[in-house]
Structure 1
Amino acid sequence: MIRPTPRRFLRVIVPALVLALGASACTSGTSGLGSVAERPSSVPGPSAAPGSSIDPADGTLARFYGQQIAWGSCGEFLPDGQYPEQRSRCGRLTVPVDYAKPDGATASIAMFRLGASGDRRGVLLTDPGGPGGSGVDFMGSAAGQFADLEIGKRFDIIGFDPRGVGRSTPAIRCRSDAERDRVRATDWVDTSPAGIDAVQKRNASVGAECAQKLGKDFLAHVGTADVVRDMDVMRGALRADQLNYLGYSYGTRIGAAYAEQFPTRVRAMINDGAVDPAADPIADVVAQNAGFQRAFERFAVDCASMPQCALGTDPTKVTARYQQLVRSLIGRPARTTDPRGLTYADAITGTGQALYTRTLWRYLRDGLAQLSTGRGDTLLRLADLYEGRDRSGRYDNSADAFTAIRCVDGPAITDRAALDKLDVTLRASAPFRDDGRGSGRGAADECAYWPVPPTSTPHRIDAKGLPTTVVLSTTDDPATPYEAGVSLADQLRARLMTFKGTQHTASFEGVECLDAPLTRYLVDLTLPAVGTTC
């Protein structure tokens, strides 16, 4: 059966790929921004304004809002980071697991702060997406590039690992590295009743393992509804009366939810690569798969214009040629230096990873050329990047966190007729991902068996009192359709900016037409012109 493309790792941090692929000529997603010279001494943290940031409506949370973050070296979190050390500090924020029980169990939120180097205007929180993406890792890669920008001079830029993610504790880690490898070694293309049953049993086991290792009480509180409460505690601990926020992809869901719950505590907000909080779950996943198909077709046209493209030179036949290449892997993994080999499932995953940004198209082109000769090394490394697996075979916890958060953030698709129809629809909307073995049967995913109920439902955002914010949407974004940004801008009554391109997210990547007005907005609240298109 064809698997829906999940919204995961949507803010591609390209420097990580340089390590993963061993490439020497790859440029970062914020290429052209330059490096930064470190200041001779560390920048102090925000000054305290006792009482001004405490939530007066709930004195039981005062000890959380009023806590002092012990900022120190980031070496424990990022021992090999390339960030400007003298301006970078890391620390932890304590939050209640259940806000209805503030005297109960607590969680620890890992944070990274790049100190402002000039006339400081406040705090800018960032989230790179996911769910399950690490804001600490994102800032570890992006801080050196943010540091020389005007926003790096005027704001303390904060990256954080949402509860359960990355270095935050408890960490959502449900499956062992060996279990992850075993799942990836199977193609999961059997659509017979027995094949569907096997997939569903595997999916049911994930929730059971998470509940056993973490407990249902914690699993019930890992969703966006609780993350935005953590963000407001963070605001208090940072002594900020209002927040500035830059959210990418799933980070826009966090931003929209924070705006809805705490509209008057927002000074400025940019949501880039929007998730539509009101979207129907089935229509949403179909639209995303169609977006990846469009991105694949644009990649294929680009590939066909170059010599020795494995997909040939006829753009009308590239999907069929791609299918021929990857379907040959079903039951017969391609040879790789790594003893695992490249499975069909990993070939699809690696392709999807590369379609997030044109920066990665060269690796997909090289990977398909390799595959045409029976080798799968580059596609396997792309798949490993998506799955969070390093060269030693160790997985990060992003995939488990993605599943746990997604499953409490909205309703599961459980209706048998809807699942069967969805499988057929997805094959039609993203034929490059079709394994050719469709039978009109679909499998329920992990969320259908999740051991705790959702804490959010799809709905239109109502954020009365929110100042005018900004939404940036890309015309051919493969992961979050342009229309989702239009919808979110309408719900937030935000100023919509449009970027014409085939990539996922676009702000502060060196496009002056975007970055200049976004900077002015963050620094002095001057809104971009109506209808701005770049």
Structure 2
Amino acid sequence: MVRLLSVLLVIPLLASCTTIVEGTSKPGVTFEKPGPAGAVPAGLEEFYGQKLGWENCEPYATTGSSRDAYGKKRDVECTRLRVPLDYSKPTGDTITIGVLRYKATGQKIGSLLTNPGGPGASGMASAAGMVSAYRKTDLAARFDLVGFDPRGVGASEPAVRCLTGPERDAERLDLDIDTSPAGLAQTEQENRAYAEKCAAGTKFGAAMLANLGTRDVVKDMDVLRSALGDAKLSYVGYSYGTRIGTEYAETFPRNVRALILDGAVDPTQDQLASLVAQAAGFQKAFDEFVKWCRQKGECPLGDDANASFRQLTTPLIQKPVDVGSRKLSYNDAITAAIQAMYSEQLWPLLVNGLNELKNGKGTTLLRLADAYYDRDEQGEYSTITDAFNAVHCVDDLRLTDKNALLETQKQYKAAAPFLDDGNPPGAALDACAFWPAPVSATPAPPKADGIPPLLVISTTGDPATPYEAGVNLAKALNSRLLTFEGVQHTVFLQGDPCVDAAGVKYLIDQTLPADGTRCA
């Protein structure tokens, strides 16, 4: 099920030539200055035309997971892009954006930027992880694959830091499910303290937190486009990365060449409606998991799978399970299940984990929860959780209506009964209510006049960004919708031949799949 405009055959726009900068040397670093290219906003010329020094990526690894992703790879290279902290003050403080590149092997069209979502996930690590699949496609000859860590994330400096590793471990054991007045007050005090720690633990403090939103990320992405030598942007955004792509198209419509938006954030829903829709999406995925689990045998869930799951997990509220020197909390068990709903490939791990839990063990479930939080075996966490909260707090309106919060909790529990902890709904204000920086976004339906046709990909059983979100985004942007029938979160370049062929063709020659195309 796909929609948009007629198919056009377009001659690819070739990137500008790269200049190796003479007279500039540093051991192990290759300096290039292919920009500026395309439109350059007044006052930002030095950023749009900056030279980039490419080097081995090992110094850019910040945690065990990023070291595993690209620390030892020799077929990728990394650099730092300098951008203003505050674009309204381009001569003021500057920050850097970490960038990773896998170079094209043939006649290059340009760079293909990508972001994995989150917000807060590392685009560098994601791009490095994509290389093996990427090089099997025709994209590898035509585009440099470029992943970047958005401002405040991963290798970008400064990174948002709110909690230390031990503090994050402790936070995961703190359930915050007491919905009595005293319990809600305690939770709100903890959330206030968290916001204060984010300002104290991040360089530039509140000024950095005020300039972390999608509004600023897309400006960084436009600087990167030009510094890489591309007059127009080619981009693949997953999940929250679709919000980045949408906002880029709104902000820089004349700088767009081709955008794939996979796993869309719904532009028509407010935050509370989106939470309920996501709960329904995870319940739908859980129901599919249960069917699969029963077919495979040794399924730990009985006839009423929701009740069985709750019976296994809710005892953890009172008594977490020891896992070596750590403990598996109720929150971690729920997080493990949510993590497994993102991909059918994780379903066997969830079955193993639930069977272990029946026997008083929590190793596999804790490992799944660690993957969600990006915690390595040494106890180091990436910036993903802190950055997620920081971006959310400046991107979205503050939720301070406690009656609305209470009603949403009721709807959430009804939409996803397998996640119901059995406690009464509560309405504690989250950290964003105490955030030391203002909201920088203005909610409005997306409008990007003058952009070329875009490709939106939506998966029928996507738990995190439900299918209708993609339908709505495609309509809002007058773009073509490609439907994938499956149960997972995002799909492009993940092994489905139908989706990959359509996406590759679109990116190379800007030919869209036929209206109504479905892949399964």
TM-score by length of 1: 0.88
Classify the secondary structure of the residue corresponding to 2:44: helix
Identity %: 47
Partner of residue 398 from structure 2, selected from 407, 412, 417: 412
Classify the secondary structure of the residue corresponding to 1:341: strand
What's 1:524 paired with?
509
Any idea what the Cα deviations from partners look like across 1:52-78, whole Å, max 9, x if unmatched? 4351x41x1100001011011112224
The one-letter code matched in structure 2 to 1:418 is: A
What's 1:281 paired with?
271
Classify the secondary structure of the residue corresponding to 1:330: helix
The one-letter code matched in structure 1 to 2:464 is: A
Structure 1 window deviating more from structure 2 (361-370 vs 144-153): it is 144-153
What's 1:170 paired with?
158
Partner of residue 271 from structure 1, selected from 261, 268, 271: 261
The answer to whether structure 1 residue 353 and structure 2 residue 353 are counterparts is: no
Number of residue equivalences: 484
Cα pair 2:32 2:53 within 8 Å, conserved: no
Partner of residue 288 from structure 2, selected from 285, 298, 308: 298
The one-letter code matched in structure 1 to 2:162 is: C
**Using the alignment, how far apart are the partners of 1:45 and 1:159 within structure 2?**
18
Summarize the Cα distance change of 1:81–1:345 in structure 2 as closer, same or farther, 3 Å threshold.
closer
Question: Offset of 1:375 from its aligned partner?
Answer: 0.5
What's 1:369 paired with?
355
What's 2:454 paired with?
469
What's 2:444 paired with?
459
Cα pair 1:272 1:471 within 8 Å, conserved: yes
Cα pair 2:33 2:52 within 8 Å, conserved: no
Summarize the Cα distance change of 1:106–1:46 in structure 2 as closer, same or farther, 3 Å threshold.
closer
What's 2:306 paired with?
319
Question: Offset of 1:414 from its aligned partner?
Answer: 0.8
The answer to whether structure 1 residue 401 and structure 2 residue 391 are counterparts is: no
**Using the alignment, how far apart are the partners of 2:422 and 2:72 within structure 1?**
50
The one-letter code matched in structure 2 to 1:104 is: G
**Using the alignment, how far apart are the partners of 2:55 and 2:387 within structure 1?**
26
What's 1:437 paired with?
423
What's 2:478 paired with?
493
The answer to whether structure 1 residue 258 and structure 2 residue 235 are counterparts is: no
What's 1:513 paired with?
498
**Using the alignment, how far apart are the partners of 2:490 and 2:71 within structure 1?**
22
Structure 1 window deviating more from structure 2 (484-493 vs 141-150): it is 141-150
**Using the alignment, how far apart are the partners of 2:225 and 2:396 within structure 1?**
26
In structure 1, stretches of 5+ residues that fail to align are 1-41
The answer to whether structure 1 residue 99 and structure 2 residue 82 are counterparts is: no
Any idea what the Cα deviations from partners look like across 1:444-479, whole Å, max 9, x if unmatched? 211121111111132111111100010000111000
**Using the alignment, how far apart are the partners of 1:400 and 1:144 within structure 2?**
29
* Structure-to-structure mapping, 1:221-232, within 5 angstroms: 221-232=211-222
Question: Offset of 1:441 from its aligned partner?
Answer: 2.6
What's 2:49 paired with?
66
Structure 1 window deviating more from structure 2 (107-116 vs 451-460): it is 451-460
Question: Offset of 1:51 from its aligned partner?
Answer: 4.9
Summarize the Cα distance change of 1:81–1:180 in structure 2 as closer, same or farther, 3 Å threshold.
closer
Summarize the Cα distance change of 1:413–1:80 in structure 2 as closer, same or farther, 3 Å threshold.
closer
Classify the secondary structure of the residue corresponding to 1:396: coil
Classify the secondary structure of the residue corresponding to 1:107: strand
The answer to whether structure 1 residue 483 and structure 2 residue 471 are counterparts is: no
Structure 1 window deviating more from structure 2 (453-462 vs 159-168): it is 453-462
Partner of residue 340 from structure 1, selected from 326, 329, 354: 326
Partner of residue 226 from structure 2, selected from 236, 257, 281: 236
Question: Offset of 1:382 from its aligned partner?
Answer: 0.6
Question: Offset of 1:335 from its aligned partner?
Answer: 2.8
Classify the secondary structure of the residue corresponding to 2:297: coil
**Using the alignment, how far apart are the partners of 2:509 and 2:38 within structure 1?**
22
What's 1:161 paired with?
149
What's 2:21 paired with?
none
**Using the alignment, how far apart are the partners of 2:325 and 2:288 within structure 1?**
33
What's 2:317 paired with?
330
Structure 1 window deviating more from structure 2 (184-193 vs 458-467): it is 184-193
Cα pair 2:37 2:227 within 8 Å, conserved: no
The one-letter code matched in structure 1 to 2:428 is: A
The answer to whether structure 1 residue 447 and structure 2 residue 432 are counterparts is: yes
Classify the secondary structure of the residue corresponding to 2:236: strand
Question: Offset of 1:45 from its aligned partner?
Answer: 9.2
Cα pair 2:69 2:128 within 8 Å, conserved: yes
Partner of residue 76 from structure 1, selected from 59, 62, 65: 59
Classify the secondary structure of the residue corresponding to 2:82: strand
What's 2:102 paired with?
114
Cα pair 2:33 2:49 within 8 Å, conserved: no
Question: Offset of 1:149 from its aligned partner?
Answer: 1.6
Question: Offset of 1:86 from its aligned partner?
Answer: 4.9
RMSD: 1.7
What's 1:533 paired with?
518
Structure 1 window deviating more from structure 2 (76-85 vs 294-303): it is 76-85
**Using the alignment, how far apart are the partners of 1:431 and 1:45 within structure 2?**
55
**Using the alignment, how far apart are the partners of 1:145 and 1:471 within structure 2?**
20
Q: Which runs of 4+ in 1 moved over 6 A?
A: 44-47
Structure 1 window deviating more from structure 2 (473-482 vs 298-307): it is 298-307
**Using the alignment, how far apart are the partners of 2:75 and 2:160 within structure 1?**
30
Cα pair 1:347 1:380 within 8 Å, conserved: yes
Classify the secondary structure of the residue corresponding to 1:324: helix
Summarize the Cα distance change of 1:363–1:80 in structure 2 as closer, same or farther, 3 Å threshold.
closer
Summarize the Cα distance change of 1:305–1:405 in structure 2 as closer, same or farther, 3 Å threshold.
same
The one-letter code matched in structure 2 to 1:118 is: G
Classify the secondary structure of the residue corresponding to 1:94: strand
What's 2:5 paired with?
none
What's 2:298 paired with?
308
* Structure-to-structure mapping, 1:191-230, within 5 angstroms: 191-214=179-202, 215-230=205-220
Partner of residue 383 from structure 1, selected from 363, 369, 394: 369
What's 1:34 paired with?
none
Summarize the Cα distance change of 1:333–1:284 in structure 2 as closer, same or farther, 3 Å threshold.
same
What's 1:25 paired with?
none
Cα pair 1:138 1:159 within 8 Å, conserved: yes
Cα pair 1:224 1:254 within 8 Å, conserved: yes
Summarize the Cα distance change of 1:368–1:121 in structure 2 as closer, same or farther, 3 Å threshold.
same
Question: Offset of 1:140 from its aligned partner?
Answer: 2.1
Cα pair 2:234 2:259 within 8 Å, conserved: yes
The one-letter code matched in structure 2 to 1:113 is: R
Any idea what the Cα deviations from partners look like across 1:130-149, whole Å, max 9, x if unmatched? 00000111122222221232
**Using the alignment, how far apart are the partners of 2:257 and 2:217 within structure 1?**
19
What's 2:118 paired with?
130
Cα pair 1:326 1:344 within 8 Å, conserved: yes
In structure 2, stretches of 5+ residues that fail to align are 1-27, 62-66
Cα pair 1:187 1:331 within 8 Å, conserved: no
Question: Offset of 1:334 from its aligned partner?
Answer: 1.5
